[in-house]
Amino acid sequence: MPFDPHPTPRNRDLADRQAIGWWLLGIAFMIWVMVALGGATRLTGSGLSIMEWAPISGMLPPLSQTEWERLYELYRTIPQYQIVNQGFGLEGFKQIFWLEWLHRLWGRLIGLAFALPLAWFWLRGRIPSGLKPRLLLLFLLGGAQGAVGWFMVASGFEADRTAVSPYRLVVHLGLALLLYGVVLWTAMGLFRPGRDAPPHPSGLRRLAHGTAGLVVLAMLAGGFTAGIHAGFAYNTFPLMEGRLIPDGYAQLSPFIHNFTANIAAVQFNHRFLATLAACGAVGAAFWGAAALPASFARTSLLALGWVVALQYALGVATLLLVVPAWLGTLHQTVAVAVLTATLAALHGLRRPRQT
């Protein structure tokens, strides 16, 4: 937008919306990176290497040999060291420490990148009417995410545990995805305040919403798959040990425990939900390509079809190769791209307001 020395209220409001929109897109990107770092931290077993929650002083890494040795001695007291990493030495500890430290530092940087511009926009009166409560809620949820992250990590220090609680892992992942989704949705609303969906069959909108629900369920099921290391079993596709539904699917009692604690059931459910989501996304992409004119909605549906197909292929490859850390991290990273395309499609298909 060219510089206007005497902007009208309408032009000033548009400029403010775009400025805040770009800021929120930057925050969304940082959260995306955070999710990727979280995946790498989990897959490399780095998440339990820092046993202290120090929001301020923890921004600095150890600056002396004495401090390194103190943190290493703390780590040697937990089951992960005693069962998995015993004897790997200070140098081995440093390798897992740095990734977890970067993960936590990035979270702090997200907090600063949100709080400082928020204060600047607020004090200058540049936040559009009605947006302040949502931005404050996002700030509070971001702070809560830090506390939830420590709550998750602390579960890994318990007796006989070498990893964090899968339930707390899913809560932490789910809150991160919720934050990302609300930030991205808010940014899209600032750039596209009008509901300009082209005429289309109502069934397409229902299919898109149903697919979005399946995408979210598949991602949460993926969290439990990661949390109980279910990806290291049944490394064949499409059958699981020669069966469509694996033997032992319902072996736990009560039955509901199978959905979160039974490796066979958790992995099958993730596969099943991902397959349904992929079918829905590809179907919506073909339907949108045939029924919609060139528009944001059509482009978003096509992007959804392509990125879901890519994610499905990555998921199969991750399984068949028995979850190499780099591929597992890529799979978790592309999951956020799936969520991005899903939200863009829903935003493009919003039902016009009644006048």
**Residues placed in the known binding site for heme:** 270, 331
β-bridge mates for residue 312, sequence order:
none
What DSSP string runs through 243-307?
BSS-TTTT-SSSGGGHHHH-HHHHHHHHHHHHHHHHHHHHHHHHHHHHH--SSHHHHHHHHHHHH
**Quick check: helix, strand or coil at residue 150?**
helix
Binding-site members are: 270, 331
What DSSP string runs through 158-186?
STT-SS--HHHHHHHHHHHHHHHHHHHHH
Determine the Cα–Cα distance for residues 231 and 229; give it in Å rounded to an integer.
Answer: 5
